[in-house]
Structure 1
Amino acid sequence: MPRRGEYRGDFPPPAQAASPGTAPRIGVRQAVALEPGRRPVTVTFDPSGYVSSQLAAELADDWVELMAAAMLSVGACRGFRKAISTFCTYLDSVEPKAAEASLAAVEPDLHAAVTEWIRLLPAAYRAGSPSPAWLASRLRQLIARRIAHPDRPVAGHLHGWVKGALGVSKGQCVEVDEFSRADKKRLIQAAWAARRVTEERIRKGWALADVGRDPRVDGWAEPANLLWALAHGVWTCEDIAERLPPFAQWPAPLRKLLPPGILPQHTVNCLLRNLIGMLYPHNLDLHAYRILLMAATGRTSEEVVALHEDDPVAPTRCLECRNAFILPSNLPQLLLFAAHLEQLRHRLAPRHFHTLWGQSQANLTEALGLRTDAEIARARQRIADEGLTLQLPISSQVEFDV
């Protein structure tokens, strides 16, 4: 699984060579992106709606290929589409020869057009908005991808812009410093739900891989066999892509792994991405875990990247806070703590118990109530299997030893 920033170009095999002046086919382009929960969705773009339709088609081709290679979120996918649309709309309004515009042509000068477009972008947004930089950055990514392609020439001075400064300030986001407890609870519950979906998807993927066989023996059109090959490292994605049958011969179980309406040239890449996603988390899946870590530690999103396993707060004492947040790994200790509090409740006078442990018990009850029966059962089984006992900080032992 590639790390952030390590995606390869994954350019499709070169088709019949075309001369630099050959106009690309002008038709609707379709890109595949991921909605929350990794459900594929198709996003379309029609270059024919622009005077600079040839340029729009060139940029759209790189957009479609980038989405097939990286499988980004639907928001990111639409962000790239908006960058193409915004620039081509601008070019149509200011360039008399917009119909002749092409990244492979010297005239009209697209470097000059990009420079002026970037200069004017901030005027369309509020002061300090990050949107101008986002749009310029996405356009630059598409042009950089085209420059990297061996058969797609890019004329003029755009190479310098791609390698140099973006030309517009990044701006800043308007951050919300505080959430209400209700907002935070909904956000955390959504993150928990997303985590469960991810883990269930991966559990099913590995279960399917377990019943698969070597595709050399049992066939290359069976999802279980392809998952088996990837899970055991016997065959690479490239190996599988070379040995898959033609799309017309794919059986229904294989076709179900693709989004509806996907273009034929993107089926293999999309299939492989989804197969990998059935075995391992995708970058988008990790956002839910980032939210959970931020809630558990009180750290910012940048700080949680550097956290280690021992960094989150000991779970029994954090229950004194009404914003207490519990990680799954804390559940065995919290169940033991709940049993201990129940003993204390019977040993102390009600008023004394409420003064010392009332808030902790209320927060603990709420925290455990958010866990599923299956999670609670697994935690209890872990307590039994590993012989776990309640672990308390030294500073708290006297308080409990009543």
Structure 2
Amino acid sequence: MVMGKDRLLAVDPVRYRCSQLAAQLADEWVEYVAATGVTAHAQVYDTAIDRFCRHVDEHLGARATGVSLAASGLFDLLVGWELALSEGYAEGSMRPRMISSALRTLIVRRDDHAERLVDADLARLARGTALIGWGETTERDEFKRKEKRAIVRAAWQSAHDTRRRLREGWDLAEQGRHPMSGSWTRIPDLLWGLSRDEITPDDIRVNMPPVRQWSPELRDLAVGKAGFLPQFARIQLCRWLFRQLYPFTRELHAFRVLLMDATGYASEEVTGFGESDVEFLPKGVRLTLLKNRAGLLRHRAFRDRGAAESEGQLTVDWPRREASEVVRQLLAVTARVRAKAPHVTDTLFVSGSVRNGFDPYFGAWAPDARGGSFGEWLDVMGIEVEGDRHIGRMRKSVKVEKAIVTEGRVDAAADDHTEETFANHYAQGTTLRILSGRTITTAQQHWFDKALTRVDGPTAVTPGAAGEVDQGQLMKSGLSAEEAEAILTGQLDMGVSHCKNPYESPFSLPGELCAVAPLRCLECRNAWILPSNLPQLLLFYDHLKHLRTRLTPQIFARLWGQSWVNLKAILDDRTPEEVTQARKHIAAGDAVLDLPLSANTEFDA
């Protein structure tokens, strides 16, 4: 037998024809659990042993007697069993692979001991690649911001209601006396007896008068989910009385929510520390947190924040969103239960209840028990959420808030685990996906805008309403009065364009005269093209067109590609009449284009 998460697990080899095989696997299971300390997954090994042994019994029949891990016939049986595991599960389920891996682990473990015989082929199969995949998992999404706020507010309300109910219950108990000298139907007397351990729930069952003699007020207290049922009235009344004195499992979900919200840690961590793991600081609290899955034991201090520190932060119902305040309230609420359950030292989440046999119970809470689950707490508090009603989504919601506050810095948001874990499990939520998309879009738009506003070519000026370009028009385009006047008077004429400042060329050192005009004017942000430059532009167009016939496309694109594109764009904006008139000027010899010798020898050499 081994201890599972919440109950004892046992394998009885006598239940199977292959009892020797079952005993061998059970022995390995018991030793493995003792060596590793696994509890939550212990049942998976139990299930694997049971299913494989039943599979062997079914296929071998009477021949299953005497079969062991040393027998040669188990190879084919293990293959068939493993391949058939998925038949009983939904598509994509991870359960079959977990069961298969559990059985393989036990076989491999036995083979690791030289004195324990295992068939060589069977051991090789167990150590090899699994025959079925792990299936698919869907990461839980975080709660929506509206849902998360509603849950936290409801948790504070629930915690307040719990403290108020317990305070009123103990105050009422002070007004009572022993039911033997008082009355077995008077609530203060019953509470007095239970609070002082003078009576037990079973004493109430025995001494209470018949239900038909109960007052209407007493009957109302014994109403269950199905209404008032006389046969269950006594047990329902005892449970109601206990709830006036001790917290019960379902309402402790509120404190778990508040601790997860205040600390940002996982459910198993905030519910896995005891009173000895709490140290109150002058301005905060230090907790010892245990994460079983990762085997991490961490000491973390959570500081109380002042108003100045909280500005700009994501807070909910400040200032009560403090770990120290939540822990204080939880200690106070569970103090009497912990006094009656001294054996529970690893958690503050303890509750009191009355079981079906009228036996009082004080011990660790069972958050997944029927009637006390997180989903049922949401129902009682009137909280509606979309998707899976799992407490793990609260952890993801807090992580999303941290990622937002840290402006998406993974190293800061992934402060209590690896960045890979954060990326694989926490960054897959809807909120962070949307924020990531917005960030990418913003970055792309930034560079698009920068590319559009960046001038790597000339500025072409079109004629005004009068058909001419004047100084005012140039000044509106970004030139100073001096630059505009110099361009209009031809002082800055570079051939195919005008240059607003030849000494600030992007192709030469600052302060030096541009050395590449006019060959690179069509790639320069200092170039200004007026309608009067059209003849020279057409001559340069002819020059580049001639180069295209002499150079390979790759070389032409590298040397003249940008100039060619910009020139064509400028010429495409001119009307056919303007181009025809400019060609006439060229034919008449009124327009010439002076190019450096390098422009003519580039392709002749």
TM-score of Structure 1 vs Structure 2, range by shorter chain: 0.3 to 0.5
TM-score norm. by structure 2 comes to: 0.31
**Rg (Cα) greater in structure:** 2
TM-score norm. by structure 1 comes to: 0.45
Bigger helix fraction: 1
Highest RCO, 1 vs 2 (Cα 8 Å, sep ≥ 6): 1
